[in-house]
Structure 1
Amino acid sequence: MPRPRTPQPPVRLRAARMLDVDKGELVAPGDLLIEGERIVEVAPAAVPPDTVEIDLGDLTLLPGLMDMEVNLLLGGPDHRSPLNPVQDDPAVRTLRAVANARRTLRAGFTTVRNLGLFVQTGGLLLDVALQKAVDLGWIDGPRVVPAGHAITPTGGHLDPTMFQAFAPHIMPLTVEEGIANGVDEVRKAVRYQIKHGARLIKVCASNGVMSHTGPAGAQQYSDEELRAIADEAHRAGRRVAAHCMGDRAIRAALDAGIDCIEHGFLASDETLDLMVERGTFLVATTYIADGMDVSKAAPELQAKAAEVFPLAKATIRLAIERGVRVACGTDAPAIPHGRNAKELIALVDRGMTPLAAIRAATTVAAELIEADDRGRLEPGLLADVIAVPGDPLTDIGVTEDVRFVMKGGQVYRRPPSPETGSL
């Protein structure tokens, strides 16, 4: 259970405007009454006598944003060494995540999916530990939906020894750490993640741009293995997200009943239509086609990126046109933690309206994680609220300039003032 907090007085949060995400309209003024961790009233006619007022002036209130693909255990401070993913021990890696979590929250992202560890941990689910520390109030960070270890075949895209092209028997990894081959092993791997706190399952269904073991998009798990993973997860009430780029691999994932496709860079028109028909989510991570630094990658991987990234931009444009359910996800640290709003700007660049991009990071993301307590500024929902300058419906770029962050009624960032400076 979270540690008991000293009862706080109600808060009236005011700003010049607020966004009604469902109507797609700015409401003036923005005026919320918050008690505890929830919004209790919009535009209250009266407030309790002990209410504390926070007046943000000429800002716009938005629901806290959500990033559906991050890995807080990687990247962040002092990650210059390309061997960092295999040099950090679990303790250092967890401390790295503390810094990344704080940066992400201060950027206005109040919920994230931590989508699959792929490091040696001795079977520890570090993202579950991070989630617990955040929920208990020990550290500042977004609400974390952890996937535990990504399930991947030997040599698969999320086998960490593949990324560094290690020699045989260097850094052996276990089924508990996600390296699983065959139906029996993948079922065991899924069960282990769920037993120890994973709230969804991440599977590596295809090769990736940075894979040394074949072309981008090549299917890695067999159809039978993918079906077993989905079956095992669904029987436990967990959704499945698949790292998946190639068209055939995406079709296999859809046929297996997988709920969400990550990247989907090489999907055909017909496959996108099938995703619409089945209601499958797409987390396109499209900004990495613009902003991922591949300059230190091997020449063959740079060539692969030069070929795939333009195709990826075209695919998300088609997905948006066809009405695929696109949720916001960055693949941070493929782009740096704290720059998550770059994905919203990229989605608008690919054809989304600013409102649709905001929904991708609020209401659609909430649907993806089956959370009906966030994503809107409405009575009864969590008081996850951010504030930006200007009008995000005409300039999505303002989401990069978050001035105020509240999560669960607690303030984590506020505009600077001469008296207090910035929080």
Structure 2
Amino acid sequence: MLTDDKTGAWKMIWMICAMTGEMIGLSRLPPDARRCMNTGKTAWLVALAASVIALTSATAQAGSVSYVHAGKVLVSAGAKPLSEQTIVIRDGKIERIEKGYALPPGSESDAQVIDLKDQFVLPGLMDMHVHLLFQLGKTSRTDVLFTTTSMEALAGAYYANKTLMAGFTTVRDLGGTPEAIYALRDSVAKRLVPGPRILSAGSALAATGGHGDIDGVKPELLDIWTPETICDGPYECRKATRYAIKMGPDWIKITATGGVMSDTATGTDQQMTDDEIIEIVNTAHGLGVKVAAHAHGANGIRAALRAGVDSIDHGTFSDAQAIKLFKKSGAYMVPTLSPGVKVPASMEGNPFFTDAIKAKANAASAASQETFRNAYESGVNIAFGTDSGVTPHGENADELVMMVDAGMSAEDAIESATITSAKLLGLEEKLGTLENGKLADLIAVSGDPLQDISVLRSVNFVMKEGEVVKQ
């Protein structure tokens, strides 16, 4: 629904229409603007409309003040929750937290008072491994024949909103059509569509025939659909890295090993060679971009860690030597337990899962929780990630329950999805806790997640950067 500010924006656009003689013709505009009709300059007028609406929305946020009355507040994972607190939010940032339920002074008569006295408030959650543009299903293998890039972006907007409503205010998207995922990222940033803050990697860098390359279709389609980020040898991989960064990613993703969801029987161990991985990491770091490595097998995990990657995603078969390299390098593990639990339960009767995929999925499932437990007990930096897209979007918090079931404390699980993930992104000065000066990303639940982590499956309230998006 259009706010008064947005209605004013549409009136401004109608005036422009009238002055130029151009008409828009969008059925959902206010009555005055609806009188516009389609013409050759519709596109630039629609673009102008979006720009003005975004500007007025941002203006409406500027100068806004909220007083959040919280029954309990977890300022930072690991800290003791505070009772009966007021979180004062100004211009999208936390100004202060004070004891008791304070009310705005007369000078702030327009301030919003939000009653969460019966709720447990904590920082917005962060997921470091999602795929917002799709969700695996029975028709996934044939859907690619009919799904346009535009449709991918629109589906991504739907899944992004589901993710935000689940309490995840920041995500790292590790693999999707570059044009679609960057458009989604930028649209969310401009508040054109609702969704979590997105840091995206676009297409993964992968070896020819490896995980990340196209597989399982006839040769003509193999040629057409091969991503431009497939590379062989260090020089090709240097060029591919530079090309990928030219397209505008926030991260670079490499597939150092085979993958479970590739329709090949090539296994899950190392596929990119040491010199290829080293060249990609050095090139990306030289251009100021961090690198995430999809890695299941121990050889590929060790090679990626020696090369200096910033995170290992999955890390399914990490061994003792890999654990030592994690500790030495300071790299983060993003364990993604969800596919290991949910995928085997969904394989029967689903034509997507060929025999080759089933074999790899069962092997990965059997190893993932024990590997995670070993890494956690060894003190590896663990950031939260789900691989949503392979598993259903909006169920991200199930991963927290799995982590606790595998031996992690509730406090540490929440820390992995807040401050640890913020550190991985290099955003710990802005996100991850509810400290003064940080962006006002916060959620609220009924019940105490420190006592029962499963309450995070049902988030009642979401605020992102000072804007209430779920109440």
TM-score by length of 2: 0.82
Q: Structure 1, residues 269-288: CA drift from partner, whole Å, max 9, x if none?
A: 22112202211100000121
Partner residue of 1:294?
347
Which one of 424, 428, 439 corresponds to residue 382 of structure 1? 439
Hey, what's the Cα distance between the residues in 2 that align with 1:304 and 1:342?
Answer: 22
Per-residue deviation at 1:37?
Answer: 1.0
2:72 aligns to what?
A: 17
Deviation, structure 1 residue 259:
1.1
Q: Distance in 2 between matches of 1:349 and 1:238?
A: 34
Distance in 2 (alpha carbons) for counterparts of 1:379 and 1:101: 28
Question: Equivalents in 2 of 1:310, 1:176: separation in Å?
Answer: 31
Q: Which has the higher helix share?
A: 2
Aligned to 1:69: 129
Cα deviations across residues 64-102 of structure 1 (Å, max 9, x unaligned)? 0000000101118x8744322453110110110010111
* Aligned counterpart, 1:231: 282
Question: Contact 1:30 / 1:43 at 8 angstroms: preserved in 2?
Answer: yes
Q: Distance in 1 between matches of 2:186 and 2:332?
A: 27
Contact 1:175 1:188 in 2 (8 A): no
Q: Match for 1:144 among 176, 198, 207? A: 198
Work out whether 1:89 is the aligned partner of 2:144.
no
Residue 254 (1) aligns with residue 305 (2)? yes
1:187 aligns with 2:238: yes
Q: What's the secondary structure of 1:358's corresponding residue? A: helix
3-state SS in 1 of match to 2:388: coil
What one-letter code is carried by the residue in structure 2 that aligns with 1:388?
V
Please tell me the residue identity of whatever aligns with 2:83. Answer: A
Measured in 1, the distance between the counterparts of 2:411 and 2:457 equals: 15
Amino acid paired to 1:343: E
Give the Cα–Cα distance (whole angstroms) in 2 for the partners of residues 383 and 408 of structure 1.
Answer: 5
CA contact (8 A) 1:175 1:189 kept: no
Q: Secondary structure at the match of 2:89?
A: strand
Tell me, yes or no, if the aligned pair for 2:259 and 2:267 is still in contact at 8 Å: yes
The question of whether the paired residues in 1 share the 8 Å contact of 2:126 and 2:384 is answered with yes
Per-residue CA distance 1:23-66 (angstroms, 9 max, x = gap): 43111024200011111111176744322200023110010000
- Offset, 1:126: 2.0
**Aligned equivalents of 1:85, 1:70: Cα separation in 2:** 19
Taking the TM superposition and a 5 Å limit, the aligned residue runs for 1:44-193 are 47-48=104-105, 49-50=108-109, 51-75=111-135, 80-117=139-176, 124-159=178-213, 161-162=214-215, 165-172=216-223, 177-193=228-244
1:304 is aligned to 2:360 = yes
Contact 2:241 2:280 in 1 (8 A): yes
Q: In 2, distance between residues paired with 1:315 and 1:23?
A: 24
Matched residue count: 405
Instruction: Answer yes or no: is the 8 Å Cα contact 1:94–1:130 preserved in 2.
Output: yes
Asked if 1:220 is matched to 2:268, the reply is no
Q: Which residue of 1 aligns with 2:16?
A: none
> Residue type of the partner of 1:110?
T
In 2, distance between residues paired with 1:403 and 1:209? 35
Instruction: Structure 1: give runs of 5+ residues left out of the alignment.
Output: 415-423
SS at match of 1:28: strand
Structure 1 residue 310 displacement after superposition: 1.2
Q: Does 1:267 align with 2:318?
A: yes
Q: Given that residues 462 and 468 in structure 2 are in contact (C-alpha distance below 8 angstroms), is that contact kept between their aligned partners in structure 1?
A: yes
Identity of aligned residues (%): 37
CA contact (8 A) 1:155 1:213 kept: no
Structure 2 residues not aligned, in runs of 5+:
1-50
> CA shift at 1:340, angstroms?
0.5
Match of 1:419 in 2: none
Q: CA deviation at 1:185?
A: 2.3
Shift of 1:238: 0.9
Correspondence 1:348 to 2:404: yes
Larger radius of gyration: 2
Deviation of 1:176 after TM superposition, in Å, equals 6.4
Partner of 2:292: 241
Summarize the Cα distance change of 1:255–1:9 in structure 2 as closer, same or farther, 3 Å threshold. Answer: closer
* Greater Cα shift, 205-214 or 167-176: 167-176
Secondary structure at the counterpart of residue 113 of structure 2: strand
**Two-structure CA RMSD over aligned residues (Å):** 1.9
Q: Write the distance in 2 (CA, Å) between the matches of 1:335 and 1:47.
A: 44
Q: What is the CA-CA distance between 1:244 and the residue it aligns to? A: 0.3
Q: Is the 8 A contact 1:205 1:243 kept in 2?
A: yes
Residue 203 of structure 1 deviates from its aligned partner by 0.4
CA shift for structure 1 position 218:
1.9
How many Å apart are 1:135 and its aligned residue? 0.7
SS in 1 for 2:433: coil
Following superposition, the deviation at residue 308 of structure 1 comes to: 2.4
Equivalent in the alignment of 1:420: none
- Give, as a single letter, the amino acid of the residue that structure 2 aligns with 1:65: L
- CA contact under 8 A between 1:149 and 1:202: conserved in structure 2? yes
Partner amino acid, structure 2, of 1:103: K
1-structure distance, mates of 2:181, 2:88? 33
Aligned counterparts of 1:193 and 1:31: Cα–Cα separation in 2: 45
- Asked if the contact 1:250–1:261 (Cα under 8 Å) also holds between the matched residues in 2, the reply is yes
**1:396–1:216: structure 2 CA closer, same or farther, 3 Å change rule?**
farther
Map of 2:418 onto structure 1: 362
Q: How far apart are 1:157 and its partner, in Å?
A: 1.1
Q: CA deviation at 1:152?
A: 1.1
Match of 2:258 in 1: 207
